[in-house]
Amino acid sequence: MDNSLSKMLMSLLAVFGLFVTVQSTAGRFERSINRPFGSVLRVHNGMRWGSWGLKEMCPNDMYAAGFSLKVAGLWESLLVGDNTALNGIRLHCIDTSTSSSGPYEDYATVQSDTGSWGKWTDIKWCSGGFLTSFQLKVEPYQGGWDDTAANNIRFNCSGNAETLQGSGMSWGKWGDWSEMCQGRGICGIETMVEAPQGVGDDTALNDVHLFCCD
């Protein structure tokens, strides 16, 4: 093939590839503000820097079957000179009428507050069912050293007794599991995120509440 033609084809492919990637890692951002929920899942090892963000609920009749994380990696932390580890959590919600199993292509995304650092990781999907409980990995207070607070999260799925572990960072310890959802599954999220501290020590995401719907 002529060289310039093949270059053009390559860049077209690159642009198309980028489009597909952006589409497939975010879904459509759509949320329901006032969807009623049955219970709230909490854990006890979250840290307390920051404030609770807005509650975001999956659209009506949709439940979370997957999640992705916003994570500041080692390289970024080195460049910034401050490690924040976990910065955000997205729930990817599917319709109850969906008959296939994960990974899904048609979904809505909700996320509450997120920190300013890191990149979104790939989505982890339940092979069947919905997210029903979670466990948080949190680094305790480091004294005068660099704090990171929450580092990673795990979810259990209702379908095939699966546990999904996020691609977060590894500092800290796993806490106890939350309770299991009453009702069908997780349908909303609220995160506690510390605002940027300027020259001070940033921690970004500190804690999360997950909402369950019938």
Ligand X SMILES: *[C@@H]1O[C@H](CO)[C@@H](O)[C@H](O)[C@H]1NC(C)=O
Distance of closest approach, residue 37 Cβ to ligand X, in angstroms: 18
Nearer to ligand X, 157 or 204 (CB): 157
Q: Which residues bind ligand X (CB under 6 A)?
A: 133, 156, 163, 177, 180
Distance of closest approach, residue 198 Cβ to ligand X, in angstroms: 39
Nearer to ligand X, 120 or 177 (CB): 177
The string of DSSP codes covering the chain is --HHHHHHHHHHHHHHHHHHHHHHHH-EE--BSS---SEEE--S----SSEE---EEPPTTEEEEEEEEEE--HHHHHHHT----EEEEEEEEEETT--S-SSPSS-EEE-----SS-EEPPPEE-SSS-EEEEEEEEPPP-TTS----EEEEEEEESSSS-EEE-S----SEE----PPPSSSEEEEEEEEEPPP-TTS----EEEEEEEEE-
Distance of closest approach, residue 156 Cβ to ligand X, in angstroms: 4
Nearer to ligand X, 109 or 158 (CB): 158
Nearer to ligand X, 70 or 154 (CB): 154
Distance of closest approach, residue 40 Cβ to ligand X, in angstroms: 14
